[in-house]
Amino acid sequence: MLTKDFLSAIHSAVFAPYFHEEIRSQFHADVEKGSFTKEQQEYEQASTQLRTGLTPEKQKALSEYESTSTLIREFSASFGFTAGIYCGFKQLFTADREEDGGFYSHVVDEIAARPRMERHQENYVNVEKRHDLYARITEGESEQTADLMTIICCYWDQAVHSASLNGFYCGYRAALGITFTVTPFNHYLPAVSSKLLNMEYRLGYIKSYSEIENELERKQNQSKLA
């Protein structure tokens, strides 16, 4: 087997269905914790209304819209993971000080914003296809239908963003894991700790102590009123 074929097989194994199932489960865990509860509820309501109010042809287009969005989410998670590995090594072995670990410059700007997103051709085709499906579904429909489709679109935008973010974080941690397998952790501890904690805070994985106290106080006040 050629080296490139061997590496391709490893790539396929890493991004197997389990990987994407785990990314989805992380998003649903965030929903259960209240992060996107409102968006989830609005999405479910909008989806139900659209499927009962659209013509069969447009219902089919809606299903295609969602399956295309799923492909975009899977690409975003995989790309995020790869970029996370790159950024993890970059922060370890260079003077890079991007507070978010490089997520926005190497993931969001790369696959979710023009012009750089256009170079990821397969995903870009799906993004454009999703736009065309949106236009096809809302053409000639009421303002209410357009509003419902906007809810669907926003939900998937959030799901895609979350997939790229969680993929990136896993990749970043993988880079640290590889490094610490080869070199003792203590060797890189001073350089890693501040960058890792700062990145986790900037990306919303951890909170400051004052934020934790404020949240605790809010919950205590709510329990008193109950």
What's 166-215 look like in SS3? HHHHHHHHHHHHHHHHHCCHHHHHHHHHHHHHHHHHHCCCCCCHHHHHHH
Q: Residue 178, exposed/middle/buried by CB under 10 A (0-12, 13-18, 19+)?
A: middle
Decide: helix, strand or coil at residue 216: helix
pLDDT in tens, 22-61: 999 999 998 888 888 889 999 999 999 998 889 999 999 9
Q: How confident is the model over 150-177, as pLDDT tens digits? A: 999 999 999 999 999 999 999 999 999 9
Please say whether the beta carbons of 160 and 76 come within 8 A: yes
Q: How far apart are CA 216 and CA 218, in angstroms?
A: 5
- Residue 223 is predicted with a pLDDT of 80
